[in-house]
Amino acid sequence: MRKLFILAALLLSGAAHALSLDQLTNKDAAGGLKEALTQGAGKAVDLLGKENGFLGNPKVKIPLPGKLEKAADTLRSFGMGKQVDELETTMNRAAEAAVPEAKKLLVESIKKMSVEDAKGILTGGDNSATEYFRKNTSAQLGEKFRPIVQKAMAKVKLADKYDQFAGKAAKFGLVKEEDSHMDNYVTEKALDGLYLMIADEEKAIRANPVGAVGSLAKKVFGSLGQ
């Protein structure tokens, strides 16, 4: 197990040139990479899939779409602040409820990762692992997220009014057509937020593999310096 963490950290670190890509054919090396990615993806899901995971994080908080976000201030000035806040809160709570469903699919995509996939991640950009996840999980995650979002949004009658209003607004270019239905909009924003947080975790692992991978790796690397 220690070997897995050592290899994962070294492989993801841009400064680790001592290991060649050919070594990824080694089962332990590929396993170490998968171990690091599993931890990073899991952490992203855990950060978002809790109360205020979206609502309390400005980086991923879901606003009203398009120009309706700017119109929210006007609505508040007309005494509709409570309704606007209720809608925004429900949108973000729906995303928080849906995200935990991602962990299983993300882990499955890592297990299916080939040696060539792993090499592509290592030779790619800082978000190459994130793009791997997006390519292999976004469609399935969208299918899993949508019914959870629909259930959460159904509790707020304002969501139906939004669909009616946004449908008209889309005709005038105030809202994108694909965003004119609340369920679709929240589902897409939940996916965007998830991949954004995964990208942050990937950058953290690449920048500081010892600290990002886990406490066991810290102990291992500490012993290597002795």
Asked which of 31-35, 55-59, 82-86, 119-123 is least confident by mean pLDDT, the reply is 31-35
pLDDT at 72 over 90: no
Give the pLDDT confidence of 127-186 residue by residue, as tens digits.
999 999 999 999 999 999 999 998 888 876 656 666 666 665 566 565 565 555 788 889
Residues present in the chain in total: 226
What is the pLDDT at residue 208? 72
Helical residues (DSSP H) of 49-127, grouped into ranges: 68-75, 81-98, 102-111, 115-123
Q: What are φ and ψ of residue 173, in 5° steps? A: 80, 10
What is the pLDDT at residue 84? 75
User: Could you tell me which of 184, 190, 186, 181 has the C-alpha nearest to residue 160?
Assistant: 181
Give the pLDDT confidence of 14-67 residue by residue, as tens digits.
444 444 445 444 455 566 677 778 888 999 999 999 999 999 999 999 988 766
Counts of helices then strands in the chain (DSSP H, E) = 11, 0
pLDDT at 117 over 90: no
CA angle, residues 59, 62, 65, in degrees to nearest 5: 125
> How far apart, in Å, are the Cα atoms of 104 and each of 17, 38, 140?
32, 10, 11
Distance CA 171, CA 177 (A): 8
What is the pLDDT at residue 116? 81
Mean pLDDT of 74-97: 81
Instruction: Check residue 214 and give left, alpha or beta (phi > 0: left; psi -120 to 50: alpha).
Output: left
> How far apart, in Å, are the Cα atoms of 179 and each of 11, 33, 56, 64, 159?
40, 37, 22, 10, 13
Residue whose structure tokens are 């602040």:
81
pLDDT at 125 over 50: yes
pLDDT at 213 over 70: no
User: Could you tell me which of 59, 85, 88 has the C-alpha nearest to residue 194?
Assistant: 59
Exposure of 225 by Cβ count < 10 A (0-12 exposed, 13-18 middle, 19+ buried)?
exposed
Residue whose structure tokens are 């950058």:
203
Mean pLDDT of 103-130: 86
What is the pLDDT at residue 86? 81
